[in-house]
Structure 1
Amino acid sequence: MSNVIQLTFPARSQGRAARRAALLDRFARERRSQEDVFWLKENAEVLNILESTGQTLASGDLPDGALAPYADIYETLDKRLGFFPQYYRFYLSLALDLEALGMAGEKAAAMVHWARAEGLAEAELSDLQRAEARRLMLRRGIDPSGGCDESQALTARLMRFISRPATFMVPNKKAAYELTHIAFYLSEYGRKSVQLPQPAKESLNFAGTLAYLDLNADLLAEICVAMRYVGMTPPDTWEDWLSRETNGFTVDAWEGAMAHDGYHEFLVSNWAMATAGREEVFRQAVPEGRVAFHAAPRPIGPLRRMSQCLLEMDAARSVDWTRMEAPICEALADDAAIAHLDRAARACADFETFFAGFARAGLVAPQQRALA
């Protein structure tokens, strides 16, 4: 039986660099076995966030010895890649980020060349995964796309996907996460200037509005990072709320099997704070041994009740927010939810346009025509 052991560790008892070192140690050694694919996922994520925000040995954000928990795994990454080529993106990410963070060695270049020679990226069906493979391999000067024309065509398809704001006016978490990752890859995690067309910027604005209405800190954090990486500034309303949620996390000692927890939200929320230049980055002290990450309790956001209200209105619903505001607020029937909706509307750059798509009022007429 798993249970949380509440231990009190004042954050100031661990220095900033020491907290990051402890965090890496717990991910590398304590939470999961290195043979578990979720170990690959978790460690690739935490290393990538530290690397993309410049928290390295050279910067002083990581103390000497912080990467020691990865020394043995680094030495075997090339062999593991050869035996588990289906996980090549994880292994390339680990090698590239460890070296960027300050690990001595040059394995990443050889691994990238091997992956290119084996055509591993050619096994990808998804443009998103092709884009990730391209971004990883380009860190060692290799484009696996097959040529300039193919690479440009891939970029064009990604741009076409993110430049359809209507996709992001209705709840679709899968599409929203794909949107953020496309922004990450095209901008090379903020290192490359990307001129997004206005429709793509609207997509990020609308996706963020939905995430905020849903009180989904995990998704909203990624959207805020993506916006900053492409030269946009997220609304203060979003980042202030994320700041409170990030500070509300606890890192608890954990006994028993590793269960699903809030590690990803913890990581990406701190990533968003670091990218925004906020002070509250990885402030929680990290206990010894296995740890779990828990967000503070939060209410259910108004998004679902808004959708339910519009669905039940059927033909009576309208694309006009000024007409729909009153019945939606009546359906919410909760002052806190209504206030949150008001904050969301004020933060959105074009809430009227967003709501016109969210209302889906235009779907009624085509259905009627089809039945005529």
Structure 2
Amino acid sequence: MERRSFVRGAGLAGVLAAGTAPAIVHAQAQVRWRLASSFPKSLDTIFGASDVFAAKVKELSGGKFTISTHAAGELMPAFGVVDGVQNGTIEAAHTAPYYFFGKDETFALGCAIPFGLNSRQMTAWMFEGNGLKLMREFYKQYNIMSFPGGNTGSQMGGWYRKEVKSAADIKGLKFRVGGFAGKVVERMGGVPQNIPGGEIYQSLEKGTIDAAEWIGPYDDQKLGFNKVAPFYAYPGWWEGGPQLDFFINQKAYDGLSAEYKAIVECAAAYAHVDMQAKYDAKNPGALKQLVAGGTKLFRFPKDVMDLAFKESLALYSDLSAKNPNWKKVYDDYANFRRDQNLWFRFAEAGFDDFMQSQKL
């Protein structure tokens, strides 16, 4: 059977299950890519997704397609990876799209927005809704082909020198917050700071900032934030399900054979699932250790949540009036979110609420 028709007919899952992928690509040319991450190597979960992706590409191609992975700062700064992919300096990047909302707020919709989709809903929008289609149309302006590349799941609300007891405590707060959420924090009276993960500890330690959020217990513990800010908030209302992406230079992607393109798609999907599995498995133990070590957990007060929700919706309305890119994607996103929340309210939330109240 002709190889390409076999791939189309059997489907990628069937090919991989049969273990025939390496044989299919045995005649393919050697390909060498470089991937720049926006994350430090010390974070085996989020940076590790790049290694998982690269290893799976190598495995499925029988060693003919290799990708070297580079931490933030090795090839370019953490927030320089979109420019690097766009101009072809590197073939690929792994990043959180909302870091680049300064170029266009629409980037944030490919990752997370305050009071947005949770991780399962985000994956559903991407793969079964219009999310992937709409975001790829947008990224095309930047010579980028995108693939979902992981999700952390719902995040914590960050580390604070003093407990936040009311919305008034947000005013003047110098808060390191990733990406788009800073726009909402600013509307609430805070002073957002967009600082790469590798620089947060020093900023907290020196008092350059009053608070910082990163991801969740496992990564936060690795970075030592509990040593310089004792109060740990939840929930991270700005990141219900932040998706990471593999960004690939469009020309580099177009130059791949059909088989190699299928391998990239499969490897990205594998890394996408693998990342959240790691976070869900590792976060509980880390949270126990942090609390045992003196970390003080607190839930954001209702007036903080209400104000953040109000300001988020007002911001989205403003953006829809002035940014056509945003409006096109957000309208679809918002419709999907409404239906998802209706469903999750009855099934997922009902089950979770009962289970989490039990003593098992």
What is the TM-score normalised by the length of structure 2?
A: 0.24
The structure where helix makes up a greater share of residues is 1
Which of these two proteins has the greater Rg computed from alpha carbons? 1
Higher relative contact order (CA 8 A, sep 6+): 2
What is the TM-score normalised by the length of structure 1?
A: 0.24
The structure where strand makes up a greater share of residues is 2
